[in-house]
Amino acid sequence: MEKIINIFILIPLLGFLVSLVIPARKEEWLSRVAFGTAGLNLIVVIFFTLYWILQGAPLLNMKDFALFAADEYEFFIDFCYDKISVVFLLLGAMLTFLVTIYSRYYLHREEGYKRFFNTVLFFYLGYNLVTLSGNLETLFLGWEILGVSSFLLIAFYRERYLPVKNAVKVFSIYRIADVGLILAMWLSHHLWLENITFAKLSNYDLVHEHLQNHTWVGVAISLMILLAAAAKSAQLPFSSWLPRAMEGPTPSSAIFYGSLSVHMGVFLLLRTYHFWEHQISIRIVIALVGLTTALVATGIARVQSSIKSQVAYSSIAQIGIIFIEVALGFTNLALFHIAGNAFLRTYQLLVSPSVVSYLIREQFYNFKPREHTVEDSLPKRMEQTLYVLCLKEWNLDSLLYRRFWNPLKWAGKQLNFFTLKRIVIFALLVCAIALLLLRIETYINAEVFHALPTVFALFGLIFVLKAFTERIHVRLSWTLIIINHVMIVLGVSFNEHFTSGHSFIYLSGIFVSGLLGYWGFFRLKRFEGNIDLDRFHGYVHQHPKIAFACLLAGLGLAGFPITPTFVGEDLIFSHIHEDQFFLAFLIALSLIVNGIAVIRIYARVFLGPHVKSVYDMAYRSS
């Protein structure tokens, strides 16, 4: 019976692959493949679920296959099927089916018709992977796909400035969520000494036994999960990304940011519920995050004067309530609420253009000069203060910039003395010293030796910060990102002796992608001359093939599940000890910045308004 679960992944995978090879002119075929995929999946899911219910709705868990296995470590794909998966799976299949049919007509004649359906199917594949995942690793696989397809959908109108800018912004926040997950995976690996499945988590005794001796690990894992969930579900302090994601065609905003994508954080919480349900403090924290978000987002929603941001913030507020429901243990209520919220917001976004004729008409017949609102009963000064705060979204958008990105940028700018030459010399020197140190290990003071991983991780961070803030040279930035990976591996290899095979797995993907990227940028340079990183260039239009190669290269370099590096990342983390939180934090930070630096390069070089002409281009502000 479990084997059937594979079909739910295979159908979207197949649909996605088929859609890739259909010529862009064949609108009819493309849309048929898209809604056929979702429709077929929907039917299979419905029948399977009925059968499953008849069987007494057992918890199904299926270990699919191992991507990598070593003595103590196994990275395997695992699926599980229970109430939560069923609700999300059905929700996803229904909404994707309806919205693909909708888009079939809506996007008619739009440039990028094919790109749209490719991305939607890719998204759907990732979504199903997440909802059916049976362990954190499988979930992470789907999670990454969601992140990248979201980036591509938000930047669908890639020749305009704002969509690209906002896509990068949303990607940055998703990246924070990713790292929350990586750290949670790292810690739970140490806690369980295996890649635990969600099915096992429902065994209370097992969880209880492990957590008794590692209370702080349990708390840390839960907090990391909460971080990932809050970022992905646009809870405080991350809320401002959701309205800004509404840059693509209305149906894609409706289905992804109105409904499916934004509920993924809640899904993560529900999935790991059995892990943290006995940690009262965590439940309180989750409820508090939900409560503050619900209150703040409602305030912001009330002052929105554009229809899409209004729907976005009211959806965030409802998800805040859902967080509370989950924290209180009302799983069924939460699932019901999720489905209702998803349908309602999808529909509200889809009919949002009608709001003009509808409300104007209503106003025409029922106009009252100004209605009394709740806020009018507040003291004037309070009311106006709150209004201004809500109007400015409580500075949430600038908060991340001011408190997080700007310090990083500032740090990167301090490294301006690094030229390409100096960097290479420095990196080679560091590598040479590292190798030497590894040779003479036995002669070194143990304490010094223990500090070495952190030192190298710091070097790595420095390199990637420089890559992130580099304004002039594309290839310098690219090189720095590669060096960052090398530093991470070097650092960890001081930490623990492991076979060079692990490093190889990690670095193989990096080098292949790195080289592919070099090739791409080199070719581009031959056509276009030197390209800086100070602005968007929009070369995707003229050089779609190079752009695609560089996108793949970039994804590989960011540890996306297309190269062995994806497994390697997890593997490398398994060599960080559970008491080395600082080291893990440094490397995690490196990886956040690393991913953003890669996407930044791609966006600046290939997306945005074309650098050579202002004609035929939209205004920057529009």
Q: Which of 38, 33, 44, 50 is nearest to 7 (CA)?
A: 44
Q: Does 462 bind other proteins (CB under 8 A)?
A: no
Q: Contacting other proteins (CB under 8 A), which of 295, 429, 436, 444?
A: 295
Contact 231, 297 (CB under 8 A): no
Q: Contacting other proteins (CB under 8 A), which of 278, 545, 577, 620?
A: 620
Stretch that binds other proteins, among 41-49, 122-130, 372-380, 473-481 (CB under 8 A): 372-380
d(CA 590, CA 156): 28
Least Cβ distance, residue 312 to other proteins (angstroms): 8
- The pair of structure tokens assigned to 251 is 């149906």
Stretch that binds other proteins, among 351-359, 429-437, 503-511, 521-529 (CB under 8 A): 351-359
Q: Contacting other proteins (CB under 8 A), which of 29, 68, 192, 347?
A: 347
Q: Does 235 bind other proteins (CB under 8 A)?
A: no
Least Cβ distance, residue 473 to other proteins (angstroms): 18
Q: Does 246 bind other proteins (CB under 8 A)?
A: yes
Q: Does 342 bind other proteins (CB under 8 A)?
A: yes
Q: Contacting other proteins (CB under 8 A), which of 281, 332, 363, 414?
A: 363
Start-end of H helices in 55-160: 83-106, 113-132, 136-154
Q: Does 350 bind other proteins (CB under 8 A)?
A: yes
d(CA 314, CA 478): 40
The β-bridge partners of 81 are 60
Q: Does 335 bind other proteins (CB under 8 A)?
A: no
* Residue 190 vs 302, nearer CB to other proteins: 302
Q: Does 529 bind other proteins (CB under 8 A)?
A: no
Q: Does 108 bind other proteins (CB under 8 A)?
A: yes
* Residue 2 vs 375, nearer CB to other proteins: 375
Least Cβ distance, residue 241 to other proteins (angstroms): 11
**Which residues are within 8 A (CB) of 553 and not within 5 positions of it... i.e. 6 or more apart?**
513, 514, 516, 517, 520
Residues in the chain: 622
Contact 95, 259 (CB under 8 A): yes
Least Cβ distance, residue 394 to other proteins (angstroms): 10
Q: Is 317 exposed, middle or buried (0-12, 13-18, 19+ CB in 10 A)?
A: buried
User: If binding means CB under 8 A, how many residues of this protein chain bind other proteins?
Assistant: 103
Q: Does 98 bind other proteins (CB under 8 A)?
A: yes
* Residue 298 vs 454, nearer CB to other proteins: 298
Q: Contacting other proteins (CB under 8 A), which of 78, 144, 247, 470?
A: 247
* Residue 233 vs 565, nearer CB to other proteins: 233
Q: Contacting other proteins (CB under 8 A), which of 193, 278, 281, 362?
A: 362
What secondary structure letter does DSSP report for 601? H
Q: Maximum Cα–Cα distance for the chain, whole Å?
A: 88
Contact 558, 594 (CB under 8 A): yes
Name residue 244's amino acid. Answer: R
Question: Interface residues for other proteins in 259-288 (CB under 8 A)?
Answer: none
Secondary structure class of 505 (helix, strand, coil): helix
Least Cβ distance, residue 503 to other proteins (angstroms): 41
Q: Contacting other proteins (CB under 8 A), which of 58, 329, 340, 407?
A: 340
What mask of x and - would describe binding to other proteins in positions 390 to 409, judged by CB under 8 A? xxx----x------------
Least Cβ distance, residue 86 to other proteins (angstroms): 16
Q: Contacting other proteins (CB under 8 A), which of 2, 219, 249, 542?
A: 249
Least Cβ distance, residue 500 to other proteins (angstroms): 45
* Residue 153 vs 217, nearer CB to other proteins: 153
Least Cβ distance, residue 84 to other proteins (angstroms): 18
* Residue 370 vs 526, nearer CB to other proteins: 370
Q: At what angle do helices 420-439 and 474-495 cross, to 10 degrees?
A: 10
Q: Does 308 bind other proteins (CB under 8 A)?
A: yes
Question: Interface residues for other proteins in 142-201 (CB under 8 A)?
Answer: 156-157, 160, 162-163, 166
d(CA 42, CA 549): 34
d(CA 255, CA 299): 24
Q: Contacting other proteins (CB under 8 A), which of 17, 20, 355, 515?
A: 355
* Residue 305 vs 442, nearer CB to other proteins: 305
* Residue 368 vs 526, nearer CB to other proteins: 368
| DSSP-derived secondary structure for 386-451 | HHHHHHTGGGHHHHHIIIIIHHHHHHHHTTTT--HHHHHHHHHHHHHHHHHHHHTGGGS-HHHHHH
Q: Which of 9, 254, 273 is nearest to 127 (CA)?
A: 9
Name residue 53's amino acid. Answer: I
For the beta carbon of residue 136, count every other beta carbon within 10 angstroms.
Answer: 26
Q: How many Å is the Cα radius of gyration of the chain?
A: 25
